[in-house]
């Protein structure tokens, strides 16, 4: 069997240990004679998975009691619409525009007739950094994207805001500890750092649940999910099952603190390789905004011929998913929780050898 080093941005690598458990349990889950995929979402069998996933999220994130953990569908993209639907009260809303995903969220607020204030943006420099932001106003909410998957930029610290802070953490879920004093809602699709697509995790402070107007459809209210333990209708059972296995895997590695240390070591190897290449490789992100999850880079003078060649060499060496997003080109190594140190070291070695050959 061949397992590639998967540097894809999403869907992305899942720990091999998790896939092996899923494989072993696929036909006969815990001696029930059925697959978890075939289990009723109202059964005891499934309930233990559902409850365990929520418990692990609470424990790993050290979540205070006044937060709810909700499981939704529709991807992070549906949250772009649900956030204003549930949190807008007729006042102002503030967005920080750090790239494609922020823009999509801003667009959804506009569709609802809201005029968002863009309090900061790095658009003029093609989103190469996290802008410095000052929030003064008391707005209905403030919205940021913690990790910008395409450009490889990431907040090192969440801003302090006087209005509730909403964070799209789709591409850095469960990769660092969170200061919940600063955050009121955090969401993300699971397929980048927490398992499969089909499940969106929403963590929300309870006092925000009752803002929603009666005109909002039932399935689009956070309240509906909070009041039904996210079992109002059939949840994506298999995605939640894999999420639970991923969370147990994080726990077995020593929790989020340990994962964070490992992620920092992994990212350092690649950024050092870029910084020590005498300009052969160039990082898209400015130094103080570099992401620990996505390393986006070019070869000098945006030499697309060499970039294609490097991609080919990587593929031959069993490393896939390194092509950069079409909006900025170049290469991108996504090194989420599931990417091993060994995989990152192999890529760094390949990059160093390639630079030597073509310098």
Q: What amino acid positions are annotated as catalytic residues? A: 101, 168, 192
Residue 270 touches ligand PLP, criterion: CB under 6 A: no
Q: How far is Cα 352 from Cα 359, in angstroms, rounded to an integer? A: 10
Residues 102-141 that bind ligand PLP (CB under 6 A): none
Decide whether 170 or 263 has the Cβ nearer to ligand PLP.
170
Quick note: the x/- pattern for ligand PLP over 56-95, rule CB under 6 A, is -------------------xxx------------------
- Per-residue DSSP letter, 32: S
Among 5, 7, 101, 158, binds ligand PLP (CB under 6 A): 101
Decide whether 120 or 350 has the Cβ nearer to ligand PLP.
120
| Total Cβ atoms within 10 A of residue 118 | 13
Residues 326-355 that bind ligand PLP (CB under 6 A): none
Decide whether 78 or 282 has the Cβ nearer to ligand PLP.
78
Shortest separation between residue 193's beta carbon and ligand PLP, angstroms:
9
CB under 8 Å to 316, separation ≥6 — which residues? none
Shortest separation between residue 77's beta carbon and ligand PLP, angstroms:
3
Whole-Å CA distances, 242 to 82, 195, 256, 257: 25, 6, 18, 21
Q: Which among 171, 165, 194 has a CA at the least distance from the CA of 67? A: 165
Decide whether 145 or 277 has the Cβ nearer to ligand PLP.
145
Quick note: the x/- pattern for ligand PLP over 181-200, rule CB under 6 A, is --------x-----------
* Count of residues interacting with ligand PLP (CB under 6 A): 11
Q: Which residue has 């059925």 as its token pair?
A: 34
- Per-residue DSSP letter, 146: S
Whole-Å CA distances, 168 to 77, 99, 206: 10, 12, 18
Decide whether 46 or 101 has the Cβ nearer to ligand PLP.
101
Decide whether 178 or 310 has the Cβ nearer to ligand PLP.
178
Element of type H or E holding 246: helix 237-252
Strand partners for 294: 334
| Total Cβ atoms within 10 A of residue 239 | 22
Residues 139-178 that bind ligand PLP (CB under 6 A): 145, 149, 168, 170-171
Shortest separation between residue 75's beta carbon and ligand PLP, angstroms:
3
Shortest separation between residue 309's beta carbon and ligand PLP, angstroms:
28
Q: Label residue 343 left, alpha or beta by phi (over 0 means left) and psi (-120 to 50 means alpha).
A: alpha
Residues 282-311 that bind ligand PLP (CB under 6 A): none
Shortest separation between residue 84's beta carbon and ligand PLP, angstroms:
15
Decide whether 332 or 355 has the Cβ nearer to ligand PLP.
332
Beta strands in the chain (DSSP E): 5-6, 67-72, 93-97, 117-121, 141-145, 147-148, 153-154, 165-168, 185-189, 200-205, 281-283, 294-299, 319-320, 331-334
Residue 10 touches ligand PLP, criterion: CB under 6 A: yes
Tokens of 31: 């001696």
Shortest separation between residue 147's beta carbon and ligand PLP, angstroms:
6
Burial level of 179, CB count in 10 A (0-12/13-18/19+)? exposed
Residues 18-57 that bind ligand PLP (CB under 6 A): none
Shortest separation between residue 204's beta carbon and ligand PLP, angstroms:
17
Phi first, then psi, for residue 185 (nearest 5°) are -150, 140
Under the rule (CB under 6 A), what is the footprint of ligand PLP?
Answer: 10, 75-77, 101, 145, 149, 168, 170-171, 189
């Amino acid at each position: 069997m061949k397992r590639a080093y998967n540097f894809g941005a999403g869907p992305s690598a899942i720990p091999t240990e998790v896939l092996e458990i899923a494989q072993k349990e696929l036909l006969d889950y815990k001696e029930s004679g059925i697959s978890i995929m075939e289990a009723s979402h109202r059964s005891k069998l499934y309930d233990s998975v559902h409850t365990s996933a929520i418990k692990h999220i609470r424990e790993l994130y050290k979540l205070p009691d006044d937060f709810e953990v909700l499981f939704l569908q529709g991807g992070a993209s549906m949250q772009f619409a649900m956030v204003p639907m549930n949190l807008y009260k007729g006042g102002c809303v503030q967005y920080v525009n750090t790239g494609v995903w922020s823009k999509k969220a801003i667009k959804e607020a506009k569709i609802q007739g809201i005029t968002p204030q863009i309090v900061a943006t790095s658009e003029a420099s093609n989103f190469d950094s996290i802008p410095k932001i000052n929030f003064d106003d008391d707005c209905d909410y403030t919205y940021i994207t913690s990790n910008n998957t395409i450009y490889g930029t990431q907040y090192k610290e969440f801003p302090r805001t006087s209005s509730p802070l909403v964070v799209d953490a789709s591409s850095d879920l469960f990769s660092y500890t969170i200061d919940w004093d600063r955050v009121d809602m955090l969401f993300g699709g699971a397929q980048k750092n927490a398992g499969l697509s089909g499940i969106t995790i929403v963590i929300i402070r309870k006092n925000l649940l009752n803002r929603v107007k009666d005109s909002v459809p039932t399935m689009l209210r956070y309240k509906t999910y909070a009041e039904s333990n996210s079992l109002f209708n059939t949840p994506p059972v298999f995605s939640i099952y894999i999420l639970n296995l991923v969370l147990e895997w994080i726990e077995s590695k020593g929790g989020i603190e340990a994962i964070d240390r490992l992620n920092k070591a992994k990212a350092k190897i690649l950024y050092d390789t870029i910084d020590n290449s005498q300009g052969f490789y160039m990082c898209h992100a400015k130094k103080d905004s570099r992401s620990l999850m996505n390393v986006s880079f070019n070869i000098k003078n945006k030499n697309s011929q060499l970039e294609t060649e490097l991609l080919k060499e990587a593929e031959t060496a069993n490393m896939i998913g390194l092509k950069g997003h079409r909006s900025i080109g170049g290469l991108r190594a996504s090194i989420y929780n599931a990417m091993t140190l060994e995989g990152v070291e192999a890529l760094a070695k390949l990059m160093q050898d390639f630079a030597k050959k073509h310098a």
